[in-house]
Structure 1
Amino acid sequence: MRKPSRNKAPIEGTIRIIGGEWRGRKLHFPASDGLRPTGDRVRETLFNWLAPHIEGARCLDAFAGSGALGLEALSRGAAHCHFLDPQREVSTALQRNLELLKAVGGTVVPSSALDWLTRCDETFDVIFLDPPFASDFYTPALHTIIERGLLADTGWLYVESDRKRSVTLPQELSVYRDKTAGQTRYQLLQYSH
């Protein structure tokens, strides 16, 4: 009987682009604590909501991980997306996937989202905020986005969290859409008018 190898390759995850130019493409990402790609069903609903707004949009995938949200946005016609992730292995995989897709509109920034947001002076049409569910990043990230004016006046802010978690929103934001799927709650926000 053969003994199992002790040098197993690290487990990888796979995401599938579900719409746009790269529809059906499967991409790999490294296994990492807290890395949980947004599921296909949730992404489909989100991008149906964003369909009239995504073409030519400047996007920010603030806690990129697998890059599922930003890659989906680029596939559907977004002009540009910044992907933020502090883990070298994850950032390297994101860069590799952008090169594989020949995606000229993607920029990988190997940085903590909170650090980068406090220094950023750009404005985005769509911001994806999907930190690890157990993290305490929601409130500081939301407040930094508002305080620094990172969301365009007519922009959209997507927040994904555990359905049991209550995310306190800054008063400047209102909920446009709010839905749950399994253990995931996802909301599309915009400035209160």
Structure 2
Amino acid sequence: MRIIGGQFRGLHLAPVGEGDAKAHLRPTSDRVRESIFNLLINGGFGDPISGARVLDLFAGTGALGLEAISRGAARVAFVDDGAAARALLRRNIELTRTMGVTDVWRRDATRMGPNRGAGYSLVFLDPPYGKGLGEKALVSCIEGGWIAPGAMIVWEEGVAPEIPQGFEMLDQRRYGDTLVTLLEAPE
């Protein structure tokens, strides 16, 4: 697993092997991550990455958020309640030397509570597949004020997710067993 583009291009992240099923670690493959960022950059959505405040839910290794920083995001907040995931995430933050522009929160992404700061303009959502956790996380984030009006949501699932009311689907593409759905948050 490595950073695909930007200032950290080619940097190898901490190895996770085939993932950790018990810890629900299923890292986004380099190929899928590259496809996601190509879609964000070349999909006609403007530039949702440069200067963005990013929320990486079910962050796991943090590869999506770190890729965003590598490509110009201003700050990333990583949310994961798993100890194994947070240990890998902290290692990857050390490898990229991004301690000053990242936050790591031990929190259940489906129960975020109120946000005390500004909303996030780019949200990565990569929950364990088939458990309905993505839907719960989005509702929790909207209720808590975590998502900025008009924010871009990048949602990875195994099957088409139930899109919460008010969100607009911008694109949806399948990469192997991963279905990537791009949404725009309500204004």
TM-score (norm 1): 0.83
Q: Which runs of 4+ in 1 moved over 4 A?
A: none
Task: State the match for 1:4 in structure 2.
Answer: none
Which shows bigger deviation, 178-187 or 98-107? 98-107
Task: State the match for 1:40 in structure 2.
Answer: 30
> Please, which runs of 5 or more residues in structure 1 have no aligned partner?
1-14
**Cα distance per residue 1:88-139 (max 9 Å; x no partner):** 2321221122122111211111222223x22333410101110011323122
| 1:171 and 2:165 aligned | yes
**For the structure 1 residues 29 and 86, does the alpha-carbon distance in structure 2 shift closer, same or farther, using more than 3 Å as the test?**
farther
Point out the structure with max Rg over C-alpha. Answer: 1
Task: State the match for 2:10 in structure 1.
Answer: 24
Task: State the match for 2:156 in structure 1.
Answer: 160
Task: State the match for 2:115 in structure 1.
Answer: 120
Task: State the match for 2:39 in structure 1.
Answer: 49
Alpha carbons 1:146, 1:172 under 8 Å: kept: no
Task: State the match for 1:93 in structure 2.
Answer: 88
The separation in 1 between residues aligned to 2:60 and 2:186, in whole angstroms, is: 29
The separation in 2 between residues aligned to 1:184 and 1:169, in whole angstroms, is: 16
Task: State the match for 1:58 in structure 2.
Answer: 53
Alpha carbons 1:127, 1:157 under 8 Å: kept: yes
The separation in 2 between residues aligned to 1:129 and 1:88, in whole angstroms, is: 19
RMSD: 1.7
> How much does 1:148 deviate?
2.7
Alpha carbons 2:149, 2:186 under 8 Å: kept: no
Task: State the match for 1:140 in structure 2.
Answer: 136
Task: State the match for 1:5 in structure 2.
Answer: none
> How much does 1:58 deviate?
0.3
Structure number with the higher strand fraction is 1
> How much does 1:40 deviate?
2.1
- Which of 67, 75, 91 is equivalent to 2:62? 67
**Cα distance per residue 1:113-171 (max 9 Å; x no partner):** 223x2233341010111001132312211212222332212310111100xx2311112
Task: State the match for 1:111 in structure 2.
Answer: 107
Task: State the match for 1:11 in structure 2.
Answer: none
Aligned AA (2:116): D
Alpha carbons 1:29, 1:66 under 8 Å: kept: no
> Please, which runs of 5 or more residues in structure 2 have no aligned partner?
42-46
Aligned AA (1:58): R
Which shows bigger deviation, 117-126 or 78-87? 117-126
| 1:185 and 2:179 aligned | yes
